[in-house]
Amino acid sequence: MFGGGIILVGYVCKYTPVEIIEAFGETPVKLEPDSKSYEQAEALIHSNICSFAKGILENIIDNHIEEVVLTSCCDSIKRLYDVLKERVKFIYLLDLPRKKDPMAVDLFYGEIKEFIDAYKAYIKRDFSKEILAKILENKAIKGKRMDSESIAILGARLKEDVVEKIKNSCAEKIINLTCTGEERIFDVKPEGDILKNYAESLLNLTPCMRMADDRNDLVNKKFKGIIYNTIKFCDYYAYEYAELKDKVDIPLLKIETDYTDSGSGQILTRVDAFLESTGIKKIEKTKAKSGYFAGIDSGSTSANVVIIDENKNIISYSIVPTGPKAVESARQAFELALKSAGLKEEDIKAAVATGYGRVSIPFAQKTVTEITCHGKGAFFIDSTVRTVIDIGGQDSKVIRLDDSGNVVDFVMNDKCSAGTGRFLEVMARTLGVSIEEMGKVVEKVKEDITITSMCTVFAESEVISLIAQNKDQRDIIHALNKAVASKAVSLVERIKGKGKYMMTGGVAKNKGVVTAIEKRLGEKILIPPEPQIIGALGAALIALEGK
C-alpha cells in the first residue's frame, strides 16, 4: 500500500491479467524500480540475478506493497516469487505458457480461473465477467498501431522516465515497443467464454523473447531508427540485438540499463550521438564567420578547451583537472585558453560544449556529444583515420568514421571502469608506482602474465596476489596494460573497426597500452601530439562550421 490509502496490486509482466484485477475494482500498477541501491534486496536474494528483479524487490519492501501478481516469465522473477512468498499478504504466480496453440490457451485459461478464485478468496469480493467485458471493450484495437516514420525503442523494458527523456531530447516520434512498453489493446472475440478469449488474446500479444514464437513481425517492421535496450543480467534480448545488428539496414543503437538512476546521463549521450551520427538529428549549419571559435570538453577527469581561428588554426588550448564543480573547471580552462591566446571572451564568436558536463556550460551556445566531436577532431588531424579509440578517465569508446569523416558507428563501455584510465589509476596505486611509470612498460621482462578479471575490483585483488607471489612488477604492469588493450580491442571488434586507427584521451599517452593495442590490432596507431584535446578541437570546429 502506498501512502494514499489505495490498495495497489503490483505486477511486472505484460502477460499479467491486469484487466481481471481491474474488474475486481482494484488498481493494478506496473512496478518500476526507482531505488538507488539494492541493499535490502541483496540481503534476501543473490546479487547476480537481474537488476530489475532486485529493484522490484527493493521497491516492494520500500513501499510496503502487499499484493503482487507475477508470472513465470523468467528465472529471476520465479525466484523473486519464492523470496516474496512469505513477505507480502497476497502473492500469486501465474504459469505462463510459451506457446499459443489451443492447448496452451486452455492451460492459461485454467491459470486465470485459478487466479480469480484465489483473489476472490483473498479480498472476499465477487468477480464479474460483465465488468471485464466492459473494460476490454474500452481497450479494443482502434486505428493504426505502428508508425514507420518513428524511431522504435525495442528490447527489454526501459524506465518510463528514460523513455520520456529520450522523447524530449529530439523532435522525432519515438514509440516504445519494449517488452512492457506496448499499449494494452486487445482483440477479444465477443462470442463464447470471455475469459477464455481473454486468455487467448493475452497470449497473442507481441511475443516477448521468452516465448516460443519468433518476433519477425515486430523486428522486420520498417522504422527510421532503432534504439535497442538490454538490462544488465537479463540475457534474453541480447540475442535479438546480435541478429539485428547484421541484418537490418536501418540505424541501430544498443543501450544497456540497470534500473538505477545513475546511467541515464550516459544513455542520453548515446541517444544524442546516435541521432546526430545517423543524420536523424540535424546539427544546424551556420555560415562561417571571421573571428575565433572555442570548443569546451567538460570530461570526468579534465576540462579541455581549444580555440581556433576562422582558418582552423589552433590558437591555444588548455587542460585543467576537473574539480568538484564541472562548470568551474570548464570556466577555468576557458579562461586559461583565452589568456594564452591573448584573447577576451567577447572575441569568441561561437563556442560549443561537449563531454559529460556539456549541458551545464553557460558560455557555450550549443552542445554536441563527445562522440561526434572526437570523430570530427580526429578526422581533422588526419583524414585517413577511420577508427577512433578514445580512452578517457571514466569511459572508453570506439568510433568508426566513413571516408568523409562522418560517424557511422560507435560503442562505449558499460558503466564499468574496466579498461579505462581509472582502472590504471587504481592499479598504479595498488602497485605504488606513478601512472607515468606504468606507461613506460612496453614489454614483458620475465614472464607473460595475463590478468583474467575484467572488473577493476577483482583485478585489484588479482594484482595483490601477483605481488604476493613475488612477480616482477614490470610484468604485472605489462599484464595490466594488456588488460586495458584487450578491452579496447573487444570494443573495436564489436563495431568492426578498421585502419587507420587514432587513439585519443588521456590513456593515449600511455605507451604500454598503445603498444599492447597495436600488437593486438597488428597495426600502428596514430597518436596526435595532444590526445586529450581532440574532443574540444572537434567542438571548436563545429562552432566554426556548424558541422
Partner 1 sequence: MDAVKSYSKFIKKNMERPEKVKKLINLGLFIAYHYVKFFRDKRLPESFHFLNKYSIKCVIDSLNQPQNSAWVNIFAPSEFLIAMDIKPLFIEAYSSFMSGFFIEDCLIDAAESKGISNTLCSYHKTFLGASELGILEKPRFMITTSIACDANIPTFRYLSKKFGVPLCIIDVPYKYSKEAVSYVKKQLQELAAKLEEAFKRKLDLDKLREIVKTENKTRALMREYLNYVGKKTLQTTMTFEMYMLFASHVFIGSKETLKFYEMLVSDIKKAPEKSGKSVFFVHILPMFETNFKQYFNFGEKYHIAGSDINFDFLHEIDENDPFLGIAERLILTSLNGGIDRRVSRIRELLEYIKPDGIIQFCHLGCKQSMGGAFVIKKLASEMGIPFLCLDGDCVDKRNNQEGQNRTRLEAFLEML
**Residue numbers at the binding site for partner 1 (CB under 8 A):** 44-46, 48-50, 53, 72, 74-76, 78-83, 93, 95, 97-99, 103-104, 106-107, 110, 209-210, 212, 214, 230, 232-236, 238-243, 245, 254, 452-454, 458, 461-462, 464-465, 490, 493-494
CB of 122 or CB of 239, closer to partner 1? 239
CB of 81 or CB of 127, closer to partner 1? 81
CB of 140 or CB of 464, closer to partner 1? 464
**Smallest gap, in angstroms, from Cβ of residue 449 to partner 1?**
13
**Smallest gap, in angstroms, from Cβ of residue 80 to partner 1?**
8
Q: How far apart are alpha carbons 310 and 445 in whole angstroms?
A: 50
Other beta carbons less than 10 A from residue 124's beta carbon: 6
**Smallest gap, in angstroms, from Cβ of residue 17 to partner 1?**
16
First to last CA, the chain: 52
**Smallest gap, in angstroms, from Cβ of residue 170 to partner 1?**
25
Q: Which residue has the cell 600502428?
A: 524
**Smallest gap, in angstroms, from Cβ of residue 164 to partner 1?**
26
**Smallest gap, in angstroms, from Cβ of residue 242 to partner 1?**
3
CB 86 within 8 A of CB 27: no
**Smallest gap, in angstroms, from Cβ of residue 85 to partner 1?**
8
C-alpha angle 152-157-161 in degrees, rounded to nearest 5: 80
CB of 48 or CB of 204, closer to partner 1? 48
Q: How far apart are alpha carbons 25 and 18 in whole angstroms?
A: 11
Q: What are 227's strand-pairing partners?
A: 153, 253
**Smallest gap, in angstroms, from Cβ of residue 132 to partner 1?**
22
CB 278 within 8 A of CB 224: no
CB of 49 or CB of 525, closer to partner 1? 49
Integer angstrom CA distances of residue 362 from 273, 352, 500, 533 = 21, 10, 36, 20
CB of 78 or CB of 509, closer to partner 1? 78
Nearest to 10 by CA among 34, 27, 35: 27
**Smallest gap, in angstroms, from Cβ of residue 544 to partner 1?**
37
CB of 463 or CB of 513, closer to partner 1? 463
Phi, psi at 231, each rounded to 5°: -110, 140
Task: Please report, as a single letter, which amino acid is at residue 50.
Answer: C
CB of 113 or CB of 281, closer to partner 1? 113
CB of 104 or CB of 435, closer to partner 1? 104
CB 386 within 8 A of CB 498: yes
**Smallest gap, in angstroms, from Cβ of residue 95 to partner 1?**
5
Nearest to 377 by CA among 533, 488, 546: 533
**Smallest gap, in angstroms, from Cβ of residue 98 to partner 1?**
4
CB of 185 or CB of 205, closer to partner 1? 205
**Smallest gap, in angstroms, from Cβ of residue 416 to partner 1?**
10
CA 83 to chain CA centroid, Å, is 29
CB 458 within 8 A of CB 425: no
**Smallest gap, in angstroms, from Cβ of residue 181 to partner 1?**
19
Q: What are 286's strand-pairing partners?
A: none
- Residue positions counted in the chain: 547
C-alpha angle 22-26-28 in degrees, rounded to nearest 5: 70
Nearest to 55 by CA among 200, 159, 150: 159
CB 541 within 8 A of CB 354: no
Burial pattern 370-380, b for ≥16 Cβ within 10 A else e, equals bbbbbbbbbbb
Q: At what angle do helices 264-277 and 160-169 cross, to 10 degrees?
A: 40
Burial pattern 473-503, b for ≥16 Cβ within 10 A else e, equals bbbbbbbbbbbbbbbbbebbeebebeebbbb
Q: Which residue has the cell 605504488?
A: 432
CB of 116 or CB of 350, closer to partner 1? 116
CB of 93 or CB of 154, closer to partner 1? 93
CB of 244 or CB of 388, closer to partner 1? 244
CB of 49 or CB of 116, closer to partner 1? 49
Could you tell me the sign of the dihedral formed by the alpha carbons of 35, 37, 42, 44, in that order? negative
**Smallest gap, in angstroms, from Cβ of residue 499 to partner 1?**
18
DSSP label at residue 284? P
Nearest to 302 by CA among 355, 262, 227, 229: 355
Phi, psi at 168, each rounded to 5°: -75, -20
Could you tell me the sign of the dihedral formed by the alpha carbons of 43, 47, 53, 55, in that order? positive
Grid cell for residue 32 = 518500476
Q: How far apart are alpha carbons 8 and 2 in whole angstroms?
A: 7
